[in-house]
C-alpha cells in the first residue's frame, strides 16, 4: 500500500543536515508499516525495536552514551548497525521517554546514524523529568489514507493520473467514476487495515466490524494512557463529536457534552485527543487577512475525527445510505462532507486550517486556508451551488478568491472556482507548488 509520505521520508534520508526523525500520528494509521517498508527498500538493513513492554529498553537508557546505546540496539535486534546503511527504528517510543530525549545526543554526537522513532507521543511533552529534544529532531505526521491514496490502493492509477495532471476541466469527464469511488471512501475511510480488508473482501459488515474494533482500541487507550482524572472527560468529548457535527453550525459547544459544562473543564481532554492524533481542531479566525494566526479566536473552534470511516461507524450510518442512497453526501447536515474536506486538507498539507464567522454569527465560511493568498472555502455536499455566505464575503473583500467545493463539475469563474470534492486534495497541493 503506497503512502504519499514515502517521498518525504526520502527527502529526510538524503538531507545533508538530517536529524533523527519523529514520525507521529494516531495509532493504526500505518506508522510502523511505513517505516519498516521504507527501511527495507532504501537501506541495507533495518534494526527494529518495539519499546512497548520491553524491559530491555528501560535498562538500556541508563544514560545517553550513544556508542553504548548503539551497541545495545545491535544486541537487541541482532543487526549490525552501520552508519548511513542501517535504519534504526524505535517504535512506540512514548513508552520509554528517555529514548526520545536521547535523540538530542544522537543529533549532536552521532548524526551519521539514521534513526527514526514512531509513536503517538502521548505524555512525552509533559513527562516529568524528561524533555522533548526541541530543535534536535525532524518530524513528520502520518494521517489515515487520503482519497488519492485510497485510489492508489484500489488500483485506479489511470484516474489518479488524470487528477495529478492538474488539468481539472478534463477530469469532468471522469467525475461520475470519481464520485462512485468517493462513496466507497466515505464508507471505508482511510484506516489502512480497513482499506486493505475492503479491497480483499468487499465485505461491508466486516469493514464496519473492524472500524468499531479500532474505535474500541482507542477508547481503551483513554483509560490506559490518559491521566486518571481526565479519562471520563476524554470519553465525553470524544462521544460528543458526532452530535457536534450534526448541527447546522458546527462550532464546538461545551453544553452539548453536559448541561452547564465549561471550557476549563474540558480543555485538557480536548488537547489530549488532539495530541493523540484522534481529532482535528479547526479554530475560528476573526479576519480574512494574512496572517490568519494573528486573528485566531482561541475560544471558538470545530472538532472533527481523524477519519471519515470511523465517524460513520460511530453514528451507525448504513452501507446502503452511503453507497446507494441519494442523500449520501448531504446526510447529517453535511457533516460527512466537512469531515472529508478537513481530513483531505490535513493529509495534503498538515497545516493550520480555520473557519470564519462575523461578529454576530450571521455569516459563516466553512473553512479558510492561507497560502500566498487567503482562500475562503464553502462546502456543498451535493450539486447545489448557492453559496450566499461566500458571495457576500467576496463582495465585501475584493482581494479574495473563493473556493466552492461540491459534486458539480470543475468551473473557473471570475473570483471563484468550483472544485469537485474528489479533486480537492490535489487542488490544495497545486496551491502550494
What's the CATH code of the domain at 31?
A: 3.40.50.300
Residue 127 domain-assigned (yes or no): yes
Domain residues for the domain of 190 are 147-432
Residue 1 domain-assigned (yes or no): no
Report the distance separating Cα 144 and Cα 142, nearest Å. 7
153 with 132, same domain? no
Residue 249 domain-assigned (yes or no): yes
Residue 108 domain-assigned (yes or no): yes
Query: Into how many domains does the chain fold?
Result: 2
Asked whether the bond before 284 is cis by omega within 30 degrees of 0, the reply is no
133 with 154, same domain? no
13 with 125, same domain? yes
303 with 424, same domain? yes
Helix (H) or strand (E) holding 215: helix 204-225
Residue 161 domain-assigned (yes or no): yes
Residue 213 domain-assigned (yes or no): yes
Residue 160 domain-assigned (yes or no): yes
DSSP string, 19-84: --EEEE--TTSSHHHHHHHHHHHHSSEEEEEE-TT-HHHHHHTTS--HHHHHHHHHHHHT----TT
Residue 208 domain-assigned (yes or no): yes
Q: What DSSP designation does 386 have?
A: -
DSSP string, 144-182: S--HHHHHHHTT-HHHHHHHHTT-GGGGGGGHHHHHHHH
The answer to whether the predicted template modeling score (pTM) of the entire model surpasses 0.85 is yes
127 with 157, same domain? no
229 with 281, same domain? yes
Q: Which residues pair with 390 in a beta bridge?
A: none
Structural domain ending residue among the three candidates 141, 158, 179: 141
348 with 318, same domain? yes
136 with 151, same domain? no
Tell me what pLDDT residue 432 has.
Answer: 87
Structural domain ending residue among the three candidates 110, 141, 172: 141
- Chain centroid to CA 276: how far? 11
Structural domain ending residue among the three candidates 115, 141, 167: 141
Tell me what pLDDT residue 86 has.
Answer: 98
Interacting residues of 166 by C-beta distance below 8 A, sequence separation 6+ = 426, 430
179 with 46, same domain? no
154 with 191, same domain? yes
136 with 183, same domain? no
Q: What is the pLDDT along the chain (433 residues), one digit of tens a residue?
A: 899 999 999 999 999 999 999 998 999 999 999 999 999 999 999 999 999 889 999 899 988 999 999 999 999 999 999 999 999 999 988 888 889 889 999 999 999 999 999 987 565 554 444 567 778 999 999 999 999 999 999 999 999 998 988 889 999 999 999 999 999 999 999 999 999 999 999 999 999 999 999 999 999 988 887 888 899 999 999 999 999 998 888 899 999 999 989 999 999 999 999 988 999 999 999 999 999 999 999 999 999 999 999 999 999 988 888 887 666 566 565 789 999 999 999 999 877 899 999 887 789 999 999 999 999 999 988 766 777 889 999 999 999 999 999 999 999 988 999 999 999 999 999 998 8
29 with 56, same domain? yes
Tell me what pLDDT residue 433 has.
Answer: 80
Amino acid at each position: 500500500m503506497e503512502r504519499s509520505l514515502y517521498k518525504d521520508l526520502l527527502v529526510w534520508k538524503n538531507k545533508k543536515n538530517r536529524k533523527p526523525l519523529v514520525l507521529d500520528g494516531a495509532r493504526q494509521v500505518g506508522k510502523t508499516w511505513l517505516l519498516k517498508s521504507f527501511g527495507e527498500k532504501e537501506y541495507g538493513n533495518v534494526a527494529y525495536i518495539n519499546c512497548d513492554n520491553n524491559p530491555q529498553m528501560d535498562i538500556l537508557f541508563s544514560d545517553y552514551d550513544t556508542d553504548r546505546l548503539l551497541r545495545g540496539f545491535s544486541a537487541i535486534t541482532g543487526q549490525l548497525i552501520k552508519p548511513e546503511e542501517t535504519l534504526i527504528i524505535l517504535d512506540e517510543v512514548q513508552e520509554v521517554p528517555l529514548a526520545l530525549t536521547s535523540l538530542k545526543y544522537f543529533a549532536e554526537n552521532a548524526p551519521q546514524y539514521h534513526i527514526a522513532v514512531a509513536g503517538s507521543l502521548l505524555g512525552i511533552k509533559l513527562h516529568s523529568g524528561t524533555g522533548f529534544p526541541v530543535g534536535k529532531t525532524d518530524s513528520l505526521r502520518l494521517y489515515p489514507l487520503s482519497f488519492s491514496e485510497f485510489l492508489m490502493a484500489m488500483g485506479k492509477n489511470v484516474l489518479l493520473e488524470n487528477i495529478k495532471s492538474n488539468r481539472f476541466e478534463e477530469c469532468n469527464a471522469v467525475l461520475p467514476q470519481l464520485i462512485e469511488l468517493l462513496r466507497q471512501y466515505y464508507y471505508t475511510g482511510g484506516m489502512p487495515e480497513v482499506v486493505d480488508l475492503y479491497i480483499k473482501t468487499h465485505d461491508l459488515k466486516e469493514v464496519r466490524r473492524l472500524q468499531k474494533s479500532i474505535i474500541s482500541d482507542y477508547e481503551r487507550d483513554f483509560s490506559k494512557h490518559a491521566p486518571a482524572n481526565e479519562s471520563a472527560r476524554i470519553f465525553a468529548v470524544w462521544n460528543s463529536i458526532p452530535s457536534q457535527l450534526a448541527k447546522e453550525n458546527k462550532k464546538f459547544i461545551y453544553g452539548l457534552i453536559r448541561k452547564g459544562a465549561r471550557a476549563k473543564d474540558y480543555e485538557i481532554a480536548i488537547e489530549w485527543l488532539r495530541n493523540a492524533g484522534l481529532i482535528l481542531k479547526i479554530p475560528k479566525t476573526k479576519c480574512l487577512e494574512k496572517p490568519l494566526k494573528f486573528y485566531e479566536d482561541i475560544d471558538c473552534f470545530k472538532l472533527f475525527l481523524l477519519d471519515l470511516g470511523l465517524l460513520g461507524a460511530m453514528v451507525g450510518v448504513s452501507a446502503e445510505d452511503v453507497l446507494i442512497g441519494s442523500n449520501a453526501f448531504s446526510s447529517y447536515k453535511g457533516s460527512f462532507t466537512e469531515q472529508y474536506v478537513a481530513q483531505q486538507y490535513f493529509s495534503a498539507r498538515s497545516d493550520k486550517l480555520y473557519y470564519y464567522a462575523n461578529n454576530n454569527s450571521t455569516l459563516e465560511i466553512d473553512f479558510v486556508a492561507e497560502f500566498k493568498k487567503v482562500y475562503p472555502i464553502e462546502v456543498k455536499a451535493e450539486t447545489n451551488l448557492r453559496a450566499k455566505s461566500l458571495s457576500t464575503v467576496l463582495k465585501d473583500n475584493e482581494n479574495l478568491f473563493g473556493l466552492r467545493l461540491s459534486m458539480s463539475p470543475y468551473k473557473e469563474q471570475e473570483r471563484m472556482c468550483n472544485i469537485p470534492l474528489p479533486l480537492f486534495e490535489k487542488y490544495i497541493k497545486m496551491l502550494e507548488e
